[in-house]
Structure 1
């Protein structure tokens, strides 16, 4: 009787571990939900909006101009940033009186709220390796559910 209870308990633990592993893999390699804070992407994304993001495009180097991405901050690696890709490698970017050429393996990021965004205009182009995910859609608040992919967004 005791042996049967122990085997049942261990079987339950094994099943729980399997589900945890599958969940981890889906969230790490597939996609996840992100809460965005701060005003830098207004009016597209308001502070505390929740986004669904996917991790496949950055891993396959399939990021495009106008994609909204989540990346490690180049100035604080413990913080993540949400910005729009405004230029990719080889493209020229003018900021003030300076023209930058985005180097190979880098992207230029800017917030939609240009007057209140710390972005590539401050820290320059960032390595694509800092990008964690690409935003697919805004899922919260429900009244503002919106696709954020470049096929459905126009940004000047």
Structure 2
């Protein structure tokens, strides 16, 4: 492009800025959807067997439910790890504030049970595989603010495709 024709240079710069803003708006929209509406996550590990595969499942996460308090006992949730703040964990929500929770203290070594009441603005979470799960039995009830979303659908692998069942 030559500076001998300033109208052509101005027209191309305007077109470039227009394209740049269109791309920026697209990425902003993707960010808003991912952060506040729904997102896709990879869930793996032994703590949620048999609900999810050991090697992992791609899941759809509803991020609106946790913001408006429409999660309940039995829902599978994505939680910011209380012991490693950069990490995310997937567990089943078993108790909301004020509810009484009955749990096995050390399932690998005994059947001894304990009972607790979930404190205000906290929730109780546990993995479905209590023998291989680090959860509220280890670090207690977690603040509601650590909930990031509710897992609603398994997307991958194809043989697992379908809704994530709520358990009571």
Q: Which TM-score bucket, shorter chain as reference?
A: over 0.9
Alignment partner of 2:47: what SS? coil
Q: How far has the Cα of 1:149 moved from its partner?
A: 4.7
Counterpart check, 1:14 vs 2:21: yes
Instruction: Look up the SS of the partner of 2:83 in the other structure.
Output: coil
Q: How does 1:81-92 map to 2 (within 5 A)?
A: 81-92=89-100
Paired position in structure 2 for 1:75: 83
Q: In structure 2, what is the Cα distance between the partners aligned to 1:101 and 1:73?
A: 21
**Which residue of structure 2 aligns with residue 40 of structure 1?**
47
Unmatched 5+ residue regions in structure 1? none
Give the RMSD, CA atoms, in angstroms: 1.2
SS at match of 2:66: helix
Query: Where does the alignment leave 5 or more consecutive residues of structure 2 unmatched?
Result: 1-7, 104-111
Helix, strand or coil at the partner of 1:19: helix
TM-score (norm 2): 0.86
Note if contact 1:135-1:149 (Cα within 8 Å) is conserved in structure 2: no
Q: CA deviation at 1:37?
A: 2.0
The CA deviation string for residues 6-61 of structure 1, in whole angstroms up to 9 with x for no partner, is 11111100111111111111111101000012110011011321110011111111
Mapped contact 1:65–1:85 kept (Cα < 8 A): yes
- Which residue matches 2:131? 115
Q: Does 1:144 align with 2:135?
A: no
Distance 2:113 2:128 in 1: 21
Greater than 3 Å deviation, 4+ residue runs? none
**SS of structure 2 residue aligned to 1:90:** coil
Matched length: 152
